[in-house]
Every structure is written in structure tokens, then in C-alpha cells.
Amino acid sequence: MKNLISIQQKIVPEIIELLEKRYTILRTIYFNQPLGRRTLADLTGTGERIVRAEVNFLKGQGLVIIDQSGMTVTNEGEEIIDSLKDFIREIKGLSFIEDTIKSGLGFKKVIVVPGNADEDKDVIKEMGRAGALYVKGIIKDNDIIAVTGGTSVNELVKGMPQGMNKSNLLVVPARGGMGRLVEIQASTLAQRLAEKLGAGYKLLHVPDVMSKATFETIINEPSIKDIIESIQNANLLIHGIGRTDEMAKRRGLSDKEFEELTEKGAVGEAFGYYFDKDGNIVGKASTIGLNFENVKNIDNIVAIAGGSGKAIAISAAKSFNKNCILVTDEGAAKEIVKLIHRK
């Protein structure tokens, strides 16, 4: 197939461009259905006249239905989207990019989806589906699954199919609560994932950031001790990766604390630890949950983050465990490759 794609790109490149455009339009409708033409034009950055023509074509092929509520993708359309994934990946050379990042940063596996989440919000949904598919394939009986909060992890949980033919599963939050958005906090996502998998769950109703005195008081509570033990025995971790500036804001750090992290070279954050561009730990939040020693010994870790703006953060929070899998997007992946080549 690679040879055929190479020939097509040289002889009839306009066919490849048209295929990518129609794939993007079809995928955008699928993730946002029912959808109106004007909204579709805004989401894809395409003129309404072009959108109208392309949608009419897709409708004529039986891939899209248009009614009073808007446009929706048919079952055949969904099959086309799934069938085109591998073809689009080959067109964009994503397999080569995955191998480059895997060897350059030491991940066990790298999964890159097309697009850039910083430019197209639907890309993060595609990342979530890809991450969910991988996680579903590695879950075993008796697993303890720890999850952090965040938008990317939220999309992975949403993308997880309902039901799991595994027994004695337990889902726990890897950290306490952080920020005001309850729907993407670790405990909320742990409960939702458990419901999807038909698993048991435990919740950690404490803030992710607290004073040292509060930390020492809470950590000795019997109920807290019980869930901490479960968290520290997790053998599957799903976590996001954030930029230092974004995470400092979410954690409510003072200007002085943020300046101290910046002076130490912090560019990325994962599960309460801040990393410099070389992957060294330069800061740690006083939080209850997984610590770095726990994480190093976990059987399977799935890190999910995307968008070109997060490339340096992802590179900083690189594999600290030989069993770590990265799920990201094309935008971040291409920037990470540039960072690898600069070293």
C-alpha cells in the first residue's frame, strides 16, 4: 500500500487532498452530530459553498443524512471513517513518526492520530478513542486501574466501549481533586470509567493540593489510608500531561511558586511532578496519591496528551517506565520529532 500511496501522491496529488478533505468533513460531522452546515464550515475552516458541495456528495454516496435537526453520519459512513484511518496514517507518514518518538524518548509504544488538537477540537476525541481501544486490549482480570483528571483522560473515558469481560476490576483516582471543573477531576473520571467497565471503584474526596499540616492529618485517616493503598497497588495508570504554566494555574500556585518552577526550568507536569526539558524532576506538589516510586513500578502506563503547544511538555515528561505508552496527535508528534533531532 505504501508504494501505491507514493505513486498517487506524485501522479495525482489532488486525489489525496480531496480524500483528506472529505475524511475531515465526515469525521467532523460524526463527532458533532447532528450538525448544521454553517457550524461545519466553522469547525473545518472551509467555505460554506465548498461545504455544501461536499456534503451533497457525501449524501449522494449514502454516507450522510440531512434532516431538520442537521447532518448525521450513516452506519456506512462510520465504516468508511474507520476504514480510512490506516490509509490517512500512511499518507501522513505517522508510522515513521511513531517509531522516531518511540526510540527517541524511550516509550514502549507510541500512537499518533492525524490532526492537531490545538486547531481542531475533534482531534482530542480521536485520541480518546485510540487510547480507549488500546486500554481495553490490555486490561486483565484483577487489575487496579488508576486515572488522573484532565480533558484528554476524559475523552479516553468517553471513548471506552460499554462493558468488559473481565472480573474483579477496581478503578481509583490517581490524585485528589483539582480545579473547579468537577466533570474532569480524577474521582469523577474513575467513577465513569468503572461504570463503563462494570468495575468497582473507590473515590478520593480530598483536594489535590494542600498544606503540609493538612496532608499529615488527612493521610492518617483510616478511610484515606485504604484508598491510598489501592492507588499505590495500581498496575495500570492512565494519565495526562500538562504544560507547567497551565498546571500551575489549575493548581492555584502563587506567582512566587510559579517563578521558582520556571527558574528551575520546569516545562511539563504529570501526576503532580514537574519536569525540565531533559526529563529531570524539578518540583513536586504536596498531594495525596501516586508518587514517582509507585509509577516506576506500574505494569502498564498510558499517557495521553496532544496539541503542538504541548510538545515540549510531553517530551519533558518522557518515559520514566519501560512499559509507558504515549497517545498523542500529529501536531504534537511533529514538534516532538523536531525536539528529538535538536538533541
Contacts for 173 with CB less than 8 Å, ≥ 6 apart: 146, 147, 148, 149, 185, 186, 187, 189, 190, 203, 204, 231, 289
Return the C-alpha cell found at 245. 504554566
Which three three-digit cell numbers place residue 319?
518515559
Distances (CA, A) of 113 to 47, 125, 159: 25, 10, 14
Mean pLDDT score, 5-22: 71
Domains and CATH numbers, the chain: 2-91 (1.10.10.10), 93-342 (3.40.50.1360)
Cβ atoms of 337 and 329 within 8 Å: the answer is no
At residue 297, the pLDDT reads 83
Q: What is the pLDDT of residue 158?
A: 95
- Cβ partners under 8 Å of residue 323, min gap 6: 108, 298, 299, 300, 301
Q: What is the pLDDT of residue 11?
A: 61
Is beta strand 170-173 parallel, antiparallel or unpaired with respect to 144-147? parallel
Which of the pair, 51 or 205, is modelled with greater confidence?
Answer: 51
What is the rounded distance in angstroms from the CA atom of residue 205 to the CA atom of residue 270? 20
Q: How far apart are CA 247 and CA 257, in angstroms?
A: 12
**Averaged pLDDT for residues 247-252:** 78
The pLDDT, as a whole number, for residue 3 is 62
Instruction: Give the model's pLDDT for residue 1.
Output: 56
70-74, 92-96, 144-148, 211-215, range with the lowest pLDDT: 211-215
pLDDT number for residue 251: 74
- What integer best gives the mean pLDDT of the chain? 86
**How would you label 292-320 residue by residue, b for 16+ Cβ within 10 Å and e otherwise?**
eebbeebebbbbbbbbbebbbbbbbbbbb
pLDDT bucket at 180, cuts 50 / 70 / 90: low
- Predicted TM-score (pTM) of this structure: 0.84
| Residue 210 vs residue 198, higher pLDDT | 198
State the sign of the Cα–Cα–Cα–Cα dihedral 224, 230, 313, 278. Answer: positive
Lowest-pLDDT range, 17-21, 217-221, 242-246, 290-294?
217-221
| Structure confidence at residue 200 as a pLDDT band (50, 70, 90) | very high
How many beta carbons lie within 10 A of that of residue 5, not counting itself? 14
**Residue in 313, 325, 289, 88 with CA at minimum distance from that of residue 207:** 289
Rounded-to-integer distance, Cα 259 and Cα 30, Å:
43
pLDDT tens digits, one per residue of 23-77? 889 989 998 889 898 999 988 888 889 999 999 999 999 999 999 899 999 999 9
Distance between CA 297 and CA 123 in Å, rounded? 31
* 282-337 tens-digit pLDDT: 888 767 777 777 888 898 999 999 999 999 999 988 766 688 999 999 999 999 99
Q: What integer pLDDT is reported at residue 100 of this predicted model?
A: 95
- HSE of 30 in the Cβ direction (CA atoms, 13 Å)? 22
pLDDT in tens, 119-178: 988 899 999 999 999 999 999 999 999 999 889 999 999 999 888 788 999 999 988 665
SS3 260: helix
46-50, 84-88, 196-200, 228-232: lowest mean pLDDT where?
84-88
Sequence-ordered list of residues with C-beta below 8 angstroms from that of 332, at least 6 positions apart, any chain: 116, 117, 305, 306, 307, 308, 310, 311, 314
* Cα–Cα distance, 191 to 170 (Å, whole number): 10
Task: Give the pLDDT band (50/70/90) at residue 270.
Answer: confident
